[in-house]
Structure 1
């Protein structure tokens, strides 16, 4: 739960799922993970982070074409939609704050999870696969459904995330406060 602070007094305080509080001004745009006083690592995501942080460019393009958004503020499928999926699936394990009024943060929305950056990455991929599976299930072509299901049985989320992170050089995930 966010708590407003005195203007000029240090910004929003975000209560993390572990119960610790953090001043959102301690976060920077390059941060992907926060080493908390609780002893755990929390994934850090900001609305300015591109969805390509989690998914290949081609898949983001497909999702942008296929997924209709209903928000005038976020008319294009992006990170906020991915985090919305995570928040819906894990409501007690994601904390968020609207920091759009704080120019020192550099983002509009900040999310921090009870799990680390790698686990969040796996969850995002799993949820997108479920979304794709749901979309394919509505296809009229039984062969397309069967082919998709066969490929998904071969798909290893953990291996995909390992390869993708190595390819994208997501070493910034090791950055902590």
Structure 2
């Protein structure tokens, strides 16, 4: 697709989970949610967004210390790994674009989901808890396993997301919306 007013200029597009096609220049670095022409709000994540957008600092540190990555380009656990887990679980609800060759956008990887920003936040937390449960299940200490399971019974993902978003003031970031 050509860019109006720019002879021969091409606009990269992304096919969203809802079926809409949107130019990638519609997504800026501060955007967390996109008001789509389809009428839905879609969560927007870029590789430059820190994983602390979804998880507390201490947990990101633990994940970085314990999760072994296999990528030379991304040797440390980061946002692309979180979105990779979401993509694996919901392949038809996440659109991706590799824009590493496009110097005009300011980011290399873009994910736009079929979920709004808050629901994506819940999904990320749920999937990280599942990863933690799997890791703890391999522990050789039964007391550790039982303690973790006891704490998870009381853990309310929705309440955690509400509190975390309020503390991090993520709703203020959501004002960066586009139609």
Shift of 1:10: 4.2
Q: Which runs of 5+ in 2 are unaligned?
A: none
1:124-163 pair list within 5 angstroms = 124-163=124-163
**C-alpha deviations, 1:33-83, integer Å up to 9, x for none?**
000010100000000000000000000000000000000000000000000
**C-alpha deviations, 1:101-146, integer Å up to 9, x for none?**
1111100000000010000000000000000000000000111101
Partner of 1:31: 31
1:174 alignment partner, SS class: coil
Q: Structure 1 residue runs of 4+, over 2 Å off? A: 4-11
CA contact (8 A) 1:46 1:109 kept: yes
Partner of 1:20: 20
The CA RMSD measured in Å over matched residues stands at: 1.5
TM-score (norm 2): 0.94
- Aligned partners of 2:96 and 2:167: how far apart in 1? 29
Shift of 1:175: 2.1
Shift of 1:5: 6.6
TM-score (norm 1): 0.95
- Aligned partners of 1:32 and 1:125: how far apart in 2? 17
Shift of 1:9: 2.2
Q: Which runs of 5+ in 1 are unaligned?
A: none
Partner of 2:86: 86
1:42 alignment partner, SS class: strand
Pair 167,10 (structure 1): closer, same or farther in 2 beyond 3 Å = farther
1:3-152 pair list within 5 angstroms = 9-152=9-152
- Aligned partners of 2:11 and 2:101: how far apart in 1? 9
How many residues are matched?
174
